Chain A
Amino acid sequence: MMETADFGSPRRGNVMVIIVAALFAVLFLRLYQLQLFYHEELGKQSEENSIRTFVKEPIRGYVYDRNGKLMVDVGPSFTVTVIPAGFEAGNLELLSSFLQTEPQSIQDRITKGRARSRFSPVKVLRDINFTALSAIEEHLFMLPGVSYEVESKRYYPTKARASHLLGYCKEITDAQLAKAGEYYRQGDVIGSAGLEASYETFLRGEKGYEYVAVNSKGQLLGSFENGKNDKRPTEGFDLVLSIDADVQAFAESLMTNFRGSIVAIDPNDGGILAMVSKPDFDPSVFSGVTPAEVWNQLNNDLEKPLFNRATMTRYPPGSTFKMLVAAAALEEGIIDENYRITCRGAYRFGNRTYKDQKVHGSTNIVEAIQKSCNVFFYQLILKVGLDNLNRYSGKFGFGQPTGIDIGEETAGLIPSVEYYDRVYGKGKWTQGYLVSLGVGQGEIGASPLQMARYAAALANGGTLRQPHAVNLVRNKQTNRMNTIEHRSGRVGISQNNMNLIREGMRRVVQEAGGTGGMARVPNITSAGKTGTAENPHGDDHSWFVGFAPFDNPKIAVAVLLENAGFGGTRAAPIGGFVIEKYLFGDVRRRMYIAPAKKDTVVKVTQAVAQ
């Protein structure tokens, strides 16, 4: 017999009550812990669980030329997305076969996206073709977590490429993503060059968000809270450029056989009318997905087609610089219109002889510009001195960025006493270094854009304007056009002195004995200056700067042809054609430009890299 308690003893009844009470206490404590203590954390988790955020891509802004012609259009592009949490790994092969791509590349993107959020869609392939889109669309039911988004894709309806000016959009890189902050996510497209980059925040618009409730299988059930938290995407702003698409296309066609650049500016407001850099590229290769081969080819091409020669190069301006030396000399009272020298075809300084093209005889400042007399400027620059040269260069905007709104540009180089001291050592350089600067040779460099602005300042009688490609921005919400303010300032050259220089430039083009006769445009008076920049790496670079009409200038232009030789024969006619096209809408004469001698590409590359 075992020792037992009485049946139903009161003590045992109490023990049972206590045990039940204790167990309920545990349940209550746990309830308190979950619902109050961990509420915030678990509440957030429940939201993440059941709400998927779908990004609605905005329509990127359009780009119009100055006459309202559509230059950059937008079309739909379809991007496949995957929600990492909802995607079944077993479907990877199927998905990649629909998309005709490697499973690994899809997997890599999902893995990368998962690290950011398991519940947000990751873009796995952009700009899929119609076959892939229909395959995906038809099989969505067997591909949980897979969806697609509509994004903008660029189209270029005009003949103008304007590759370097318009720039391009590209899928955001990891480095950009790290810098750009919250707005962007992996797979987004971002303006990466030219106007697309510098006006990115205007053009891109604002993404919209759609919150969709999903069930545990990741199936979409409909909008969350009737879409009251949704945000519609905001369309990007349109840009209205100062560019004339016809002139741009025409200028590009003139450069078919050349490396180099054309920049045309409206001297009255600083608006860029055309900007060409050759060789260029077809911007539409960037509109969808850029295959790595294409990108690498563009990047590795020895002629550097991605490089914007209009803003990023530094070429000695050659004789086109003579107006600046003249302006410094006249304005400082070193010479006046009556000052004459006799040119014997060469100038001796120290133990070196500096050559001229020919013997010009008795020459004043106007004739020196007209005939491009080197001897006149060799002796003049010694009188002007390095400090004055530097100061007047600054007034015309050399040696400093122009502030153009397309992003990257070079400041150029204008030597100063400090510069020579730094490079050669104090007291180890002589006035002889100065002599070649008088004719724009030597350690001096300017971009075609700087040269065009200089030409524009000479055209408008001395106002230096900030060059810009965008005139107006249209706000798509208010539909209002917003103008953009630009800097401008006087170069500070007296009317009389400016007239002397402009007269010299007029004679260059219009008078017999001028070096720029080939830039002459029928029925109109133009002005200009040719230049031939000596190039230690190969054939000389060919320059022309000019403007027209002479009395009421509407266009200023700078033309640079790499290794094309004498400025008067190649750059000058191109400048003339561009002016004519812009002023008359067409060129009604036989167009002939002597083809350039082809230098070796390697030498060009060296020159460009310099």
Chain B
Amino acid sequence: MNTYFKEYFDYKSLGICLALVGAGLISIYSATFDINNAANFDRQVVWTMVGFVALVVAAYFPLKTVQRLAIPLYVATLAMLLIVLIIGKTTSGSKSWFDFGGSFRLQPSEFAKVITVLAFAAFLSKTTVTIGNMKHLIVGLTIFALPMGFVLAQPDLGTSVVFFGVMVPLLYWAGASRFMFAAILAPILVAFGALLGTTAFLIAVVLSGLLLFVTRENNFAAALAFGITLAVGLSVQIVYERLPTYQRNRIATFLDPGHDPLGAGYNVLQSKVAIGSGGLLGKGYMKGTQTQLNFIPEQWTDFIFCVPGEEFGMLGASVVLILFASLLFHGIKVGELSKNKFGSMTAIGITAILATHVFINIGMSMGLMPVIGIPLPFLSYGGSSLVSNMIMVGLLMNVYANRKSY
């Protein structure tokens, strides 16, 4: 038993996870105290208990079985995402919820992220599959592209960005070549250019052309990739036009910060004020005026980072950042240590999911990122997110425990 705790029990993941969940509960309590949302805290406590059970199950479920179940689960998730698209509940302009009546609601896209990672890991860890094979690469990309497309159709820009943020490091870890990255990055570059205007678009096209040319391994693939890049760039404009106004505003605000301070930029402005006014030691728990007076809309969800920032200052915010950094470094370490390809990919994928959330969410709270509405893991209010994050930590612990088996 002693050896088990020394060798196989990932107390680090668990400890950090619990510390972050604790920080989350403290923050949610402060953010929802004295307003009509006070019940949110109680609900989050219940979700924490549910999450803890899920964590334990994920940590001790046989990893091989997880691997075997990954693909069927993935298919089921795709089905759920499709169903939610058709019958789901609309929240702030996007259909992403299953409403089971009462206060129990489920957001399949939260679970879709980790299941997609598992499916991708399961697919690539098949002995017959190598990333260097074009056919296999395309299948791998499709595993990401399908849920990403469904989520984008909800439309939930934030979650689809997360899928992208997970896909790139996973491909990298799986050993994809430089050209593959060029082929993936080029369309993004051009898409951004398209949003910024004609000149930027043309420069992006030239740059991505050069990138593809320099890293090319065969001319046909390079030409194909360039064609896709152009198509993406042109269609971005069309998609942008179709986006709901609130998301278009958010993009515009990101591209031109300070524009429209009472519109989409209002959240960012207030959140920056909240964090900045916290100073070194903060205003004291439950004493943050921005937090207590509800200046930041929905701050118990996407803008929860303002609470430690305002009430505990640089000290509190740094503790949260350090906890996240430790978890991410540890996640990469677990990925590196795992001799099992599925486990390793899972660890890196989970780390990538968490990292994308952390950097986008905190970056957005401090005005470094566009407001694309994704929760801060463990801290933001929300049952689906908390439970899926705790499942991920459980899986990470599972991979750690099985790191020595092939």
Contact = CB atoms under 8 A, between A and B. Distances in A.
Contacts of B325: 20-21, 24
Given A42-B272, A215-B295, A31 B366 contact: yes
Interface stretch (A3-11, A69-77, A316-324): A3-11
A46 B274 CA distance: 7
A564 B144 CA distance: 106
Interface residues of A, number: 45
Contacts of A178: none
Nearest to A17: B332
Contacts of A217: 294
Contacts of A226: none
Contacts of B367: 30
Contact of B276 (A4, A7, A27, A35): A35
A8 B293 contact: no
A43 B355 contact: no
Contacts of B293: 49-50, 213-216, 221
B313 interface: yes
B173 A8 contact: yes
Nearest to B176: A4
Per DSSP, are chain A's interface residues mostly helix, strand or loop, or mixed?
Answer: helix
Contacts of A27: 321, 359, 362-363, 366, 368
A22 B179 CA distance: 24
Nearest to A43: B277
B131 A4 contact: yes
A39 interface: yes
Contact of A31 (B133, B318, B328, B329): B318
A23 B359 contact: yes
A20 B324 CA distance: 10
B329 A50 contact: no
Contacts of A47: 277, 289
B173 A32 contact: no
Nearest to A28: B321
Given A31-B318, A50-B295, A3 B332 contact: no
Nearest to A26: B368
Determine the interface band of chain B, counting residues with CB < 8 A from chain A.
35 or more
B318 A1 contact: no
A34 interface: yes
A501 to B, nearest CB: 77
B273 interface: yes
A490 interface: no
Interface string B155-189: 00000000000000100111111011000000000
A32 B314 contact: yes
A138 interface: no
Determine which residue in A3, A35, A42, A215 has the highest number of CB atoms from chain B within 10 A of its CB, and name it.
A35
B279 interface: yes
Given A36-B314, A43-B279, A2 B289 contact: no
Nearest to B362: A27
A41 interface: yes
Nearest to A9: B175
A36 B278 CA distance: 9
B44 interface: no
Contacts of B174: 7
Contacts of A21: 325, 329
A433 interface: no
Nearest to B295: A216
Contacts of A523: none
A38 interface: yes
A215 B324 CA distance: 31
Interface in B256-288: 270, 272-280
Given A2-B177, A24-B321, A34-B272, A49 B297 contact: no
B366 A34 contact: yes
Given A35-B313, A36-B280, A214-B293, A46 B273 contact: yes
Given A13-B336, A20-B332, A26-B368, A46 B290 contact: yes
B255 interface: no
A49 to B, nearest CB: 6
A3 B221 CA distance: 13
B243 interface: no
Given A17-B329, A39-B276, A31 B131 contact: no
B317 interface: yes
Interface in B313-327: 313-314, 317-318, 321, 324-325
A4 B177 contact: yes
A7 B136 CA distance: 14
Interface in B337-394: 341, 344, 348, 355, 359, 362-363, 366-368
Interface string A221-247: 100000000000000000000000000
A20 B329 CA distance: 8
Interface string A35-77: 1101101110111011100000000000000000000000000
A20 B289 contact: no
B289 A41 contact: no
Contacts of A216: 270, 293-297
A10 B366 contact: no
A4 B277 CA distance: 49
A2 B362 contact: no
B218 to A, nearest CB: 8
Contact of A16 (B172, B313, B318): B172
B313 to A, nearest CB: 6
Interface string A111-151: 00000000000000000000000000000000000000000
A348 interface: no
Contacts of B335: 8, 13
Interface string B121-147: 000000000111110010000000000
Given A1-B132, A16-B172, A31-B318, A45 B336 contact: no
A12 interface: yes
B362 A3 contact: no
Interface in A526-579: none
A28 to B, nearest CB: 6
B217 interface: yes
A31 B314 contact: yes
A123 to B, nearest CB: 24
A8 B336 contact: yes
B325 to A, nearest CB: 5
Given A21-B329, A35-B317, A45-B277, 18 more contacts: A1-B133, A4-B176, A5-B177, A6-B175, A13-B173, A15-B172, A20-B329, A23-B359, A26-B368, A34-B272, A34-B309, A35-B279, A36-B279, A42-B273, A43-B279, A49-B270, A213-B289, A216-B293
Interface of A: 1-10, 12-13, 15-17, 20-21, 23-24, 26-28, 30-32, 34-36, 38-39, 41-43, 45-47, 49-51, 213-217, 221
30 contacts: A1-B133, A2-B177, A2-B180, A3-B132, A5-B175, A6-B175, A7-B173, A12-B173, A13-B173, A16-B348, A20-B325, A20-B328, A24-B325, A30-B363, A31-B309, A34-B275, A34-B276, A35-B275, A35-B276, A35-B280, A36-B279, A39-B277, A39-B280, A42-B277, A215-B293, A215-B294, A216-B270, A216-B294, A216-B295, A221-B293
